[in-house]
Amino acid sequence: MNLKPDEYRVVLDRARERSMEWIESVPDRPVAPSADVNAMKKVFARPLPDGPTDPATVVDELATLAEPGLMAMPSGRFFGWVIGGTLPAALGADWLVSSWDQNAGMRYASPATAAIEEVAGEWLLDILGLPAESDVGFTTGATMANWTGLAAARASVLDSVGWDVNTRGLQGAPVITVLVGAERHASVDLALRYLGLGAPTIVAADYKGRIRVDALREALEAVDGPAILCLQAGNLHSGASDPMRSAIQAAHKHGAWVHVDGAFGLWAAASPSLRDQLDGIETADSWATDAHKTLNVPYDCGVAIIAKPNLARAALGTQTAYLIQDATGAPDPYDLVPELSRRARGVPVWAALRQLGRSGVISLVDGLVANAQALATGLAALPGVSVMNDVVFTQVCLTFGSDKRTREVTQRLIADGAVWMSGSKWRGNDILRISVSNWSTDADDVAFSIAAVQRAMA
Ligand X SMILES: *Cc1c(COP(=O)(O)O)cnc(C)c1O
Q: Which residues bind ligand X (CB under 6 A)?
A: 82, 141-143, 185, 187, 234, 236, 261, 263-264, 290, 302
**Least distance CB 262 / ligand X (angstroms):** 7
**Shortest Cβ 261–ligand X spacing (Å):** 5
Residue closer to ligand X by CB (options 137, 141) is: 141
Cα 144 to chain centroid, rounded: 10
- Three-point CA angle 213, 216, 219, nearest 5°: 160
Nearer to ligand X, 105 or 265 (CB): 265
Q: Find the shortest distance in angstroms from Cβ 184 to ligand X.
A: 8
Q: Which helix (H) or strand (E) holds 281?
A: none
Count of Cβ atoms closer than 10 Å to residue 166 Cβ: 13
Exposed (0-12), middle (13-18) or buried (19+): which is 133, by Cβ within 10 Å?
Answer: exposed
> Helix (H) and strand (E) counts for the chain?
14, 11
Shortest distance (Å) from residue 289 CB to ligand X: 9
Q: How far is the CB of 311 from ligand X (least distance, A)?
A: 21
* Nearest residue (CB) to ligand X, 110 versus 241: 241
Nearest residue to the partner ligand X, using Cβ: 141
CB of 186 to ligand X, least distance (A): 8
Nearer to ligand X, 302 or 331 (CB): 302
Q: What are residue 399's phi and psi, to 5 degrees?
A: -125, 155
The span from the CA of 119 to the CA of 137, in Å, is 12
Between 261 and 285, name the residue whose CB sits nearer to ligand X.
261
| Cβ nearer to ligand X, comparing 90 with 450 | 90
Instruction: Give me the torsion for CA of 260, 263, 265, 271, rounded to 10°.
Output: 100
> Based on CB atoms, which residue is closest to ligand X, 156 or 187?
187
Dump the DSSP string for 349-399.
Answer: HHHHHHHHHHHHHHHHHHHHHHHHHHHHHHHHTSTT-EE-S--SSSEEEEE
For CA atoms 377, 379, 385, 387, give the dihedral sign. negative
**Smallest separation, CB 425 to ligand X (Å):** 16
| Residue nearer to ligand X on the CB measure, 263 or 278 | 263
Q: Which is nearer to ligand X, 230 or 306 (CB)?
A: 230
Residues 266 and 240 sit within 8 Å (Cβ to Cβ) = no
Task: Give the residue among 265, 269, 334, 246 at the shortest CA–CA distance from 124.
Answer: 269
**286 close to 318: Cβ distance less than 8 angstroms:** no
Do β-strands 395-399 and 386-387 pair in parallel, antiparallel, or remain unpaired? antiparallel
State the amino acid at position 254 in one-letter form.
Answer: H
Least Å distance between CB 82 and ligand X? 5
